[in-house]
Structure 1
Amino acid sequence: MADHAWNRHRDRPGQTVGRRKNAEKASCMKAHWQYLRYVLRHKFFVFQAGYGLVPLVQLLLHDWTKFLPREWFPYTRTFYAKDGSSQYKPDATFDTAWNHHEKANPHHWQYWVLIKDSGDEVLLPMPEKYRREMLADWKGAGRALGKPDTASWYEQNRYRIKLHPETRAWVERELGVIPDRLDDDLAPLLFEMWRDHIEGILKSKTCTINEDGTVTLSADVADAWLTIIGTRYEDLELMDRYKWIDRAFLVIDVIKRTVFYRGEDAA
Protein backbone atom coordinates (compact mmCIF):
# COMPACT_ATOMS: atom_id res chain seq x y z
CA MET A 1 0.00 0.00 0.00
CA ALA A 2 2.81 2.36 0.89
CA ASP A 3 4.59 1.61 -2.39
CA HIS A 4 1.39 2.32 -4.29
CA ALA A 5 1.01 5.71 -2.61
CA TRP A 6 4.64 6.63 -3.32
CA ASN A 7 4.25 5.74 -7.00
CA ARG A 8 1.21 8.01 -7.25
CA HIS A 9 3.23 11.03 -6.04
CA ARG A 10 6.35 10.47 -8.13
CA ASP A 11 7.08 13.03 -10.83
CA ARG A 12 5.82 12.02 -14.20
CA PRO A 13 8.18 12.55 -17.20
CA GLY A 14 6.15 15.54 -18.38
CA GLN A 15 6.26 17.16 -14.96
CA THR A 16 10.05 16.76 -14.77
CA VAL A 17 10.56 18.37 -18.17
CA GLY A 18 8.19 21.18 -17.23
CA ARG A 19 10.06 21.92 -14.01
CA ARG A 20 13.37 21.91 -15.84
CA LYS A 21 12.06 24.41 -18.40
CA ASN A 22 10.70 26.62 -15.64
CA ALA A 23 14.09 26.54 -13.92
CA GLU A 24 15.83 27.51 -17.18
CA LYS A 25 13.39 30.37 -17.71
CA ALA A 26 13.99 31.61 -14.18
CA SER A 27 17.74 31.46 -14.76
CA CYS A 28 17.44 33.41 -18.05
CA MET A 29 15.33 36.03 -16.32
CA LYS A 30 18.28 36.84 -14.07
CA ALA A 31 20.20 38.13 -17.09
CA HIS A 32 17.27 40.28 -18.21
CA TRP A 33 16.80 41.60 -14.68
CA GLN A 34 20.45 42.59 -14.39
CA TYR A 35 20.39 44.31 -17.76
CA LEU A 36 17.20 46.18 -16.84
CA ARG A 37 18.86 47.37 -13.64
CA TYR A 38 21.88 48.60 -15.60
CA VAL A 39 19.79 50.47 -18.19
CA LEU A 40 17.65 52.16 -15.53
CA ARG A 41 20.75 53.05 -13.51
CA HIS A 42 22.34 54.54 -16.63
CA LYS A 43 19.19 56.52 -17.47
CA PHE A 44 19.05 57.84 -13.90
CA PHE A 45 22.62 59.15 -14.06
CA VAL A 46 22.05 60.63 -17.53
CA PHE A 47 18.93 62.37 -16.19
CA GLN A 48 20.95 63.83 -13.34
CA ALA A 49 23.73 65.02 -15.63
CA GLY A 50 21.36 66.51 -18.21
CA TYR A 51 18.68 68.01 -15.98
CA GLY A 52 18.34 71.69 -16.78
CA LEU A 53 20.56 71.36 -19.84
CA VAL A 54 18.57 68.94 -22.01
CA PRO A 55 14.80 69.13 -22.68
CA LEU A 56 12.94 67.03 -20.10
CA VAL A 57 11.08 64.86 -22.62
CA GLN A 58 14.35 64.18 -24.43
CA LEU A 59 15.94 63.01 -21.18
CA LEU A 60 13.00 60.74 -20.36
CA LEU A 61 13.20 59.17 -23.83
CA HIS A 62 16.98 58.77 -23.69
CA ASP A 63 18.06 55.36 -25.08
CA TRP A 64 14.43 54.28 -25.52
CA THR A 65 15.44 51.97 -28.40
CA LYS A 66 17.30 49.75 -25.92
CA PHE A 67 13.89 48.46 -24.84
CA LEU A 68 13.07 47.27 -28.35
CA PRO A 69 13.52 43.49 -28.92
CA ARG A 70 16.06 44.10 -31.72
CA GLU A 71 18.38 45.77 -29.19
CA TRP A 72 17.27 44.32 -25.86
CA PHE A 73 17.97 40.64 -26.51
CA PRO A 74 21.38 41.02 -28.24
CA TYR A 75 22.53 43.45 -25.53
CA THR A 76 21.40 41.14 -22.72
CA ARG A 77 23.11 38.09 -24.26
CA THR A 78 26.29 40.09 -24.78
CA PHE A 79 26.66 41.62 -21.32
CA TYR A 80 25.10 39.02 -19.01
CA ALA A 81 25.24 35.25 -18.66
CA LYS A 82 22.06 33.29 -17.96
CA ASP A 83 22.78 33.32 -14.23
CA GLY A 84 22.97 37.13 -14.27
CA SER A 85 26.76 37.38 -13.96
CA SER A 86 28.58 39.98 -16.05
CA GLN A 87 30.32 39.00 -19.26
CA TYR A 88 31.20 40.45 -22.65
CA LYS A 89 30.49 38.07 -25.53
CA PRO A 90 29.50 40.09 -28.59
CA ASP A 91 28.38 38.41 -31.79
CA ALA A 92 26.95 39.49 -35.15
CA THR A 93 23.52 40.18 -33.65
CA PHE A 94 25.09 42.59 -31.15
CA ASP A 95 26.90 44.45 -33.94
CA THR A 96 23.58 44.82 -35.75
CA ALA A 97 21.86 45.99 -32.56
CA TRP A 98 24.61 48.50 -31.79
CA ASN A 99 24.51 49.84 -35.35
CA HIS A 100 20.74 50.29 -35.04
CA HIS A 101 21.18 52.07 -31.71
CA GLU A 102 23.71 54.54 -33.11
CA LYS A 103 21.64 55.29 -36.22
CA ALA A 104 18.38 55.67 -34.27
CA ASN A 105 19.69 57.96 -31.51
CA PRO A 106 21.02 61.39 -32.60
CA HIS A 107 22.91 61.88 -29.32
CA HIS A 108 25.59 59.47 -30.61
CA TRP A 109 28.35 61.14 -32.61
CA GLN A 110 28.28 58.21 -35.10
CA TYR A 111 24.81 59.39 -36.16
CA TRP A 112 26.42 62.53 -37.60
CA VAL A 113 29.15 60.83 -39.63
CA LEU A 114 28.12 60.67 -43.29
CA ILE A 115 29.84 58.06 -45.44
CA LYS A 116 29.50 58.90 -49.10
CA ASP A 117 29.37 56.40 -51.95
CA SER A 118 33.01 57.27 -52.66
CA GLY A 119 33.93 56.15 -49.15
CA ASP A 120 34.74 59.68 -48.00
CA GLU A 121 33.55 60.70 -44.55
CA VAL A 122 31.78 63.98 -43.88
CA LEU A 123 31.46 65.14 -40.26
CA LEU A 124 28.19 66.97 -39.73
CA PRO A 125 27.69 69.53 -36.93
CA MET A 126 25.51 68.26 -34.06
CA PRO A 127 22.54 70.41 -33.02
CA GLU A 128 23.01 71.75 -29.51
CA LYS A 129 20.25 69.68 -27.88
CA TYR A 130 21.86 66.46 -29.09
CA ARG A 131 25.41 67.36 -28.17
CA ARG A 132 24.17 68.28 -24.71
CA GLU A 133 22.51 64.89 -24.48
CA MET A 134 25.72 63.25 -25.73
CA LEU A 135 27.67 64.94 -22.95
CA ALA A 136 25.08 63.83 -20.37
CA ASP A 137 25.27 60.32 -21.83
CA TRP A 138 29.06 60.22 -21.43
CA LYS A 139 28.82 61.43 -17.85
CA GLY A 140 25.99 59.04 -17.01
CA ALA A 141 27.77 56.06 -18.55
CA GLY A 142 30.93 56.93 -16.64
CA ARG A 143 29.10 57.10 -13.31
CA ALA A 144 27.21 53.86 -14.00
CA LEU A 145 30.53 52.12 -14.68
CA GLY A 146 32.33 53.73 -11.74
CA LYS A 147 34.42 56.01 -13.97
CA PRO A 148 33.10 59.53 -13.34
CA ASP A 149 36.06 61.48 -14.80
CA THR A 150 34.53 62.30 -18.19
CA ALA A 151 37.24 64.79 -19.16
CA SER A 152 39.98 62.21 -18.63
CA TRP A 153 38.01 59.60 -20.59
CA TYR A 154 37.55 62.07 -23.45
CA GLU A 155 41.24 62.94 -23.59
CA GLN A 156 42.11 59.25 -23.81
CA ASN A 157 39.62 58.68 -26.64
CA ARG A 158 39.75 62.07 -28.37
CA TYR A 159 41.21 60.85 -31.64
CA ARG A 160 38.75 57.95 -31.88
CA ILE A 161 35.74 60.24 -31.61
CA LYS A 162 34.95 61.89 -34.94
CA LEU A 163 33.31 65.28 -34.47
CA HIS A 164 32.72 68.32 -36.62
CA PRO A 165 35.29 71.00 -35.62
CA GLU A 166 32.57 73.29 -34.23
CA THR A 167 31.06 70.43 -32.22
CA ARG A 168 34.47 69.38 -30.92
CA ALA A 169 35.30 72.92 -29.83
CA TRP A 170 31.99 73.06 -27.90
CA VAL A 171 32.57 69.66 -26.25
CA GLU A 172 36.11 70.54 -25.17
CA ARG A 173 34.98 73.89 -23.83
CA GLU A 174 32.21 72.22 -21.80
CA LEU A 175 34.58 69.58 -20.43
CA GLY A 176 37.29 72.12 -19.66
CA VAL A 177 39.72 70.26 -21.91
CA ILE A 178 42.40 72.44 -23.47
CA PRO A 179 43.58 70.78 -26.68
CA ASP A 180 47.33 70.67 -27.08
CA ARG A 181 47.61 72.89 -30.12
CA LEU A 182 51.39 72.83 -29.79
CA ASP A 183 51.41 69.13 -30.64
CA ASP A 184 49.16 69.79 -33.62
CA ASP A 185 51.44 72.55 -34.87
CA LEU A 186 54.61 70.53 -34.34
CA ALA A 187 53.19 67.29 -35.73
CA PRO A 188 54.44 67.69 -39.34
CA LEU A 189 57.88 68.80 -38.12
CA LEU A 190 58.12 65.88 -35.67
CA PHE A 191 57.07 63.52 -38.41
CA GLU A 192 59.83 64.78 -40.69
CA MET A 193 62.39 64.39 -37.89
CA TRP A 194 61.15 60.89 -37.19
CA ARG A 195 61.24 60.00 -40.88
CA ASP A 196 64.80 61.25 -41.28
CA HIS A 197 65.88 59.32 -38.20
CA ILE A 198 64.22 56.08 -39.34
CA GLU A 199 65.62 56.51 -42.82
CA GLY A 200 69.07 56.62 -41.29
CA ILE A 201 68.33 53.50 -39.25
CA LEU A 202 67.14 51.68 -42.36
CA LYS A 203 70.30 52.60 -44.25
CA SER A 204 72.40 51.16 -41.43
CA LYS A 205 70.07 48.15 -41.29
CA THR A 206 69.56 48.57 -37.57
CA CYS A 207 66.45 49.04 -35.50
CA THR A 208 66.11 47.23 -32.16
CA ILE A 209 68.75 47.58 -29.47
CA ASN A 210 69.88 44.16 -28.23
CA GLU A 211 71.32 43.28 -24.82
CA ASP A 212 74.85 43.26 -26.23
CA GLY A 213 74.40 46.77 -27.62
CA THR A 214 73.85 45.76 -31.22
CA VAL A 215 70.75 46.75 -33.11
CA THR A 216 68.71 44.61 -35.52
CA LEU A 217 65.83 45.25 -37.88
CA SER A 218 63.13 42.83 -39.02
CA ALA A 219 62.05 42.75 -42.65
CA ASP A 220 58.38 43.39 -41.71
CA VAL A 221 59.27 46.51 -39.75
CA ALA A 222 61.53 47.71 -42.55
CA ASP A 223 58.76 47.31 -45.12
CA ALA A 224 56.24 49.13 -42.91
CA TRP A 225 58.62 51.99 -42.22
CA LEU A 226 59.59 52.29 -45.88
CA THR A 227 55.89 52.74 -46.69
CA ILE A 228 55.53 55.47 -44.07
CA ILE A 229 58.71 57.18 -45.22
CA GLY A 230 57.24 57.39 -48.72
CA THR A 231 54.05 59.07 -47.46
CA ARG A 232 53.59 62.72 -46.62
CA TYR A 233 52.22 63.49 -43.17
CA GLU A 234 49.18 65.24 -44.64
CA ASP A 235 48.33 62.11 -46.67
CA LEU A 236 48.25 59.78 -43.68
CA GLU A 237 44.92 58.71 -42.22
CA LEU A 238 44.01 60.73 -39.10
CA MET A 239 44.58 57.83 -36.69
CA ASP A 240 47.86 56.93 -38.39
CA ARG A 241 49.09 60.49 -38.03
CA TYR A 242 48.95 60.40 -34.25
CA LYS A 243 50.16 56.81 -34.05
CA TRP A 244 53.33 57.77 -35.88
CA ILE A 245 53.64 61.05 -34.00
CA ASP A 246 53.69 59.03 -30.78
CA ARG A 247 56.60 57.11 -32.24
CA ALA A 248 58.22 60.39 -33.22
CA PHE A 249 58.19 61.52 -29.59
CA LEU A 250 59.80 58.23 -28.59
CA VAL A 251 62.51 58.62 -31.22
CA ILE A 252 63.20 62.21 -30.15
CA ASP A 253 63.41 61.05 -26.53
CA VAL A 254 65.97 58.41 -27.54
CA ILE A 255 67.92 61.04 -29.47
CA LYS A 256 67.97 63.38 -26.44
CA ARG A 257 69.08 60.64 -24.09
CA THR A 258 71.72 59.43 -26.55
CA VAL A 259 73.12 62.80 -27.64
CA PHE A 260 72.61 65.06 -24.64
CA TYR A 261 72.96 62.66 -21.74
CA ARG A 262 75.77 60.46 -23.01
CA GLY A 263 78.47 62.65 -21.51
CA GLU A 264 76.59 62.94 -18.24
CA ASP A 265 76.15 59.15 -18.02
CA ALA A 266 79.82 58.61 -18.73
CA ALA A 267 80.74 60.99 -15.96
Structure 2
Amino acid sequence: MLCKNFIGHLKTVLQHRHQVFIHCVKAGIPLRGMLHDLSKFSPTEFIPGVLYFQGNRSPNEREREVDGYSKAWMHHKGRNRHHFEYWTDYNMKTKQLEPVEMPDVFVFEMFCDRVAASKIYNKEKYNDSMPLEYYLRVKHRRIIEKKTAWKLEFLLTMLRDKGEDYTFRYIRKQVRKNKQRSAE
Protein backbone atom coordinates (compact mmCIF):
# COMPACT_ATOMS: atom_id res chain seq x y z
CA MET A 1 0.00 0.00 0.00
CA LEU A 2 2.74 2.47 0.96
CA CYS A 3 4.71 1.69 -2.22
CA LYS A 4 1.57 2.17 -4.32
CA ASN A 5 0.89 5.50 -2.56
CA PHE A 6 4.52 6.59 -3.05
CA ILE A 7 4.39 5.90 -6.77
CA GLY A 8 0.91 7.40 -7.12
CA HIS A 9 1.79 10.59 -5.27
CA LEU A 10 5.11 11.03 -7.07
CA LYS A 11 3.42 10.46 -10.43
CA THR A 12 0.65 12.98 -9.58
CA VAL A 13 3.13 15.64 -8.45
CA LEU A 14 5.31 15.17 -11.53
CA GLN A 15 2.31 15.21 -13.90
CA HIS A 16 0.98 18.33 -12.20
CA ARG A 17 4.33 20.15 -12.35
CA HIS A 18 4.71 19.17 -16.00
CA GLN A 19 1.23 20.48 -16.86
CA VAL A 20 1.83 23.73 -14.94
CA PHE A 21 5.14 24.16 -16.77
CA ILE A 22 3.38 23.76 -20.13
CA HIS A 23 0.77 26.32 -19.08
CA CYS A 24 3.38 28.75 -17.77
CA VAL A 25 5.28 28.53 -21.06
CA LYS A 26 2.03 29.27 -22.92
CA ALA A 27 1.44 32.18 -20.53
CA GLY A 28 4.91 33.64 -21.15
CA ILE A 29 6.22 32.91 -17.64
CA PRO A 30 8.40 29.81 -18.10
CA LEU A 31 10.58 30.50 -15.04
CA ARG A 32 7.49 30.33 -12.81
CA GLY A 33 6.72 26.95 -14.38
CA MET A 34 10.21 25.62 -13.66
CA LEU A 35 10.08 26.77 -10.03
CA HIS A 36 6.49 25.73 -9.46
CA ASP A 37 5.79 23.60 -6.35
CA LEU A 38 9.38 22.54 -5.69
CA SER A 39 8.53 22.46 -1.98
CA LYS A 40 6.33 19.40 -2.65
CA PHE A 41 9.57 17.38 -2.70
CA SER A 42 10.50 18.44 0.85
CA PRO A 43 9.93 15.79 3.55
CA THR A 44 7.34 18.06 5.24
CA GLU A 45 5.12 17.92 2.18
CA PHE A 46 6.12 14.73 0.41
CA ILE A 47 5.72 12.29 3.32
CA PRO A 48 2.13 13.37 4.15
CA GLY A 49 1.44 13.38 0.40
CA VAL A 50 2.32 9.68 0.32
CA LEU A 51 0.54 8.81 3.58
CA TYR A 52 -2.71 10.55 2.57
CA PHE A 53 -2.60 9.91 -1.18
CA GLN A 54 -5.94 8.99 -2.79
CA GLY A 55 -5.43 9.95 -6.42
CA ASN A 56 -8.62 11.90 -6.97
CA ARG A 57 -8.03 14.90 -4.69
CA SER A 58 -5.29 16.65 -2.76
CA PRO A 59 -3.74 14.59 0.05
CA ASN A 60 -3.93 17.80 2.12
CA GLU A 61 -7.72 17.42 2.27
CA ARG A 62 -7.41 13.91 3.74
CA GLU A 63 -4.69 15.05 6.15
CA ARG A 64 -7.11 17.74 7.43
CA GLU A 65 -9.87 15.16 7.89
CA VAL A 66 -7.59 12.85 9.90
CA ASP A 67 -5.47 15.36 11.86
CA GLY A 68 -7.69 18.45 11.95
CA TYR A 69 -5.17 20.47 9.93
CA SER A 70 -2.64 19.96 7.18
CA LYS A 71 0.96 20.54 8.17
CA ALA A 72 1.94 19.92 4.53
CA TRP A 73 -0.42 22.68 3.32
CA MET A 74 0.81 25.17 5.91
CA HIS A 75 4.37 24.49 4.76
CA HIS A 76 3.36 24.71 1.09
CA LYS A 77 1.38 27.94 1.22
CA GLY A 78 4.16 29.66 3.14
CA ARG A 79 6.72 28.94 0.40
CA ASN A 80 4.77 29.30 -2.82
CA ARG A 81 3.75 32.78 -3.88
CA HIS A 82 1.22 31.50 -6.45
CA HIS A 83 -1.17 30.73 -3.57
CA PHE A 84 -3.30 33.65 -2.41
CA GLU A 85 -3.00 32.32 1.14
CA TYR A 86 0.69 33.29 1.02
CA TRP A 87 -0.38 36.90 0.52
CA THR A 88 -1.67 37.79 3.97
CA ASP A 89 -0.14 40.17 6.47
CA TYR A 90 -1.08 42.16 9.53
CA ASN A 91 -2.79 45.41 8.64
CA MET A 92 -1.27 48.21 10.72
CA LYS A 93 -4.60 50.05 10.89
CA THR A 94 -6.93 47.17 11.79
CA LYS A 95 -4.31 45.09 13.67
CA GLN A 96 -5.71 42.01 11.95
CA LEU A 97 -4.43 39.49 9.44
CA GLU A 98 -5.77 40.52 6.04
CA PRO A 99 -5.26 39.55 2.40
CA VAL A 100 -2.81 41.53 0.27
CA GLU A 101 -3.05 42.01 -3.50
CA MET A 102 -0.93 39.49 -5.42
CA PRO A 103 1.46 40.62 -8.15
CA ASP A 104 0.12 39.66 -11.57
CA VAL A 105 2.86 37.12 -12.34
CA PHE A 106 1.71 35.02 -9.36
CA VAL A 107 -1.95 35.43 -10.31
CA PHE A 108 -1.02 34.06 -13.73
CA GLU A 109 0.88 31.16 -12.15
CA MET A 110 -2.10 30.52 -9.84
CA PHE A 111 -4.34 30.36 -12.91
CA CYS A 112 -1.96 27.85 -14.55
CA ASP A 113 -1.88 25.83 -11.32
CA ARG A 114 -5.66 25.65 -11.01
CA VAL A 115 -6.18 24.63 -14.61
CA ALA A 116 -3.46 21.97 -14.32
CA ALA A 117 -4.94 20.61 -11.07
CA SER A 118 -8.38 20.36 -12.70
CA LYS A 119 -6.87 18.45 -15.60
CA ILE A 120 -4.88 16.07 -13.38
CA TYR A 121 -7.72 15.26 -10.97
CA ASN A 122 -10.53 15.13 -13.57
CA LYS A 123 -8.48 13.34 -16.24
CA GLU A 124 -10.51 12.66 -19.42
CA LYS A 125 -13.64 14.27 -17.92
CA TYR A 126 -11.91 17.69 -17.84
CA ASN A 127 -13.45 20.64 -19.62
CA ASP A 128 -12.59 24.35 -19.55
CA SER A 129 -15.45 25.23 -17.19
CA MET A 130 -14.18 22.98 -14.37
CA PRO A 131 -11.54 25.35 -12.87
CA LEU A 132 -14.12 28.15 -12.63
CA GLU A 133 -16.80 25.83 -11.22
CA TYR A 134 -14.41 24.66 -8.49
CA TYR A 135 -13.35 28.24 -7.70
CA LEU A 136 -16.97 29.44 -7.43
CA ARG A 137 -17.94 26.45 -5.27
CA VAL A 138 -15.36 27.36 -2.60
CA LYS A 139 -15.12 31.13 -3.17
CA HIS A 140 -17.32 32.05 -0.20
CA ARG A 141 -14.94 30.23 2.17
CA ARG A 142 -11.77 31.93 0.92
CA ILE A 143 -10.06 35.00 2.30
CA ILE A 144 -8.63 36.53 -0.86
CA GLU A 145 -7.90 40.16 -1.68
CA LYS A 146 -10.65 41.68 -3.86
CA LYS A 147 -8.54 42.64 -6.92
CA THR A 148 -6.74 39.31 -6.83
CA ALA A 149 -10.06 37.45 -6.67
CA TRP A 150 -11.43 39.54 -9.53
CA LYS A 151 -8.36 38.86 -11.72
CA LEU A 152 -8.46 35.11 -11.09
CA GLU A 153 -12.21 34.86 -11.69
CA PHE A 154 -11.85 36.98 -14.85
CA LEU A 155 -9.22 34.58 -16.24
CA LEU A 156 -11.17 31.46 -15.26
CA THR A 157 -14.31 32.88 -16.87
CA MET A 158 -12.32 33.75 -20.00
CA LEU A 159 -11.05 30.17 -20.10
CA ARG A 160 -14.59 28.82 -19.85
CA ASP A 161 -15.99 31.19 -22.46
CA LYS A 162 -13.12 31.55 -24.95
CA GLY A 163 -10.82 28.59 -24.35
CA GLU A 164 -7.16 28.04 -23.54
CA ASP A 165 -5.57 29.53 -26.64
CA TYR A 166 -7.39 32.85 -26.26
CA THR A 167 -6.76 33.02 -22.50
CA PHE A 168 -3.04 32.25 -22.73
CA ARG A 169 -2.69 34.79 -25.54
CA TYR A 170 -4.36 37.38 -23.27
CA ILE A 171 -2.04 36.51 -20.37
CA ARG A 172 1.08 36.77 -22.60
CA LYS A 173 -0.03 40.28 -23.62
CA GLN A 174 -0.44 41.22 -19.97
CA VAL A 175 3.00 39.81 -19.11
CA ARG A 176 4.56 41.90 -21.92
CA LYS A 177 2.71 45.04 -20.75
CA ASN A 178 3.88 44.48 -17.16
CA LYS A 179 7.50 44.05 -18.33
CA GLN A 180 7.28 47.25 -20.36
CA ARG A 181 5.86 49.16 -17.38
CA SER A 182 8.61 47.93 -15.05
CA ALA A 183 11.30 48.85 -17.63
CA GLU A 184 10.08 52.47 -17.79
If the length of structure 2 is used for normalisation, what is the TM-score? Answer: 0.69
The match for 1:127 is: 103
| Shift in CA distance, 54/103, structure 1 to aligned 2, threshold 3 Å | farther
Greater relative contact order (CA < 8 Å, ≥ 6 in sequence): 2
**Partners of 1:63 and 1:37 in 2: CA distance:** 14
**Partners of 1:161 and 1:43 in 2: CA distance:** 24
| Shift in CA distance, 108/38, structure 1 to aligned 2, threshold 3 Å | same
Q: Which runs of 4 or more aligned residues in structure 1 lie more than 6 Å from their structure 2 counterparts after TM superposition?
A: 116-119
**Partners of 1:72 and 1:93 in 2: CA distance:** 18
**Partners of 2:68 and 2:145 in 1: CA distance:** 30
| TM-superposed deviation, 1:103 | 0.5
- Residue in structure 2 matching 1:71, options 24, 36, 45: 45
- Residue in structure 2 matching 1:100, options 64, 72, 75: 75
| TM-superposed deviation, 1:54 | 4.8
Q: How far does the alpha carbon of each residue in 1:38-86 deviate from its partner, in whole angstroms, 9 at most, with x for none?
A: 11111122223322325212201211000111111111101159xxxx9
Question: Is 1:44 equivalent to 2:18 in the alignment?
Answer: yes
**Partners of 1:50 and 1:128 in 2: CA distance:** 13
The match for 2:115 is: 139
8 Å contact kept, 1:114–1:124: yes
- Residue in structure 2 matching 1:175, options 150, 156, 161: 156
**Partners of 1:162 and 1:93 in 2: CA distance:** 19
The match for 2:172 is: none
User: Between Structure 1 and Structure 2, how many residues are aligned?
Assistant: 147
Q: Unpaired segments of 5 or more residues in structure 2?
A: 159-184
Structure 2 SS opposite 1:122:
strand
If the length of structure 1 is used for normalisation, what is the TM-score? Answer: 0.49
Where do 1:57-68 residues align within 5 Å? 57-68=31-42
| Shift in CA distance, 60/99, structure 1 to aligned 2, threshold 3 Å | same
Higher helix share: 2
Amino acid at match of 1:121: L
The match for 1:111 is: 86
**Partners of 1:156 and 1:70 in 2: CA distance:** 29
RMSD between aligned residues: 2.8
The match for 2:131 is: 150
Amino acid at match of 2:149: R
8 Å contact kept, 1:46–1:136: yes
8 Å contact kept, 1:135–1:171: yes
| Shift in CA distance, 80/142, structure 1 to aligned 2, threshold 3 Å | closer
Larger radius of gyration: 1
Q: How far does the alpha carbon of each residue in 1:205-256 deviate from its partner, in whole angstroms, 9 at most, with x for none?
A: xxxxxxxxxxxxxxxxxxxxxxxxxxxxxxxxxxxxxxxxxxxxxxxxxxxx
| TM-superposed deviation, 1:127 | 0.6
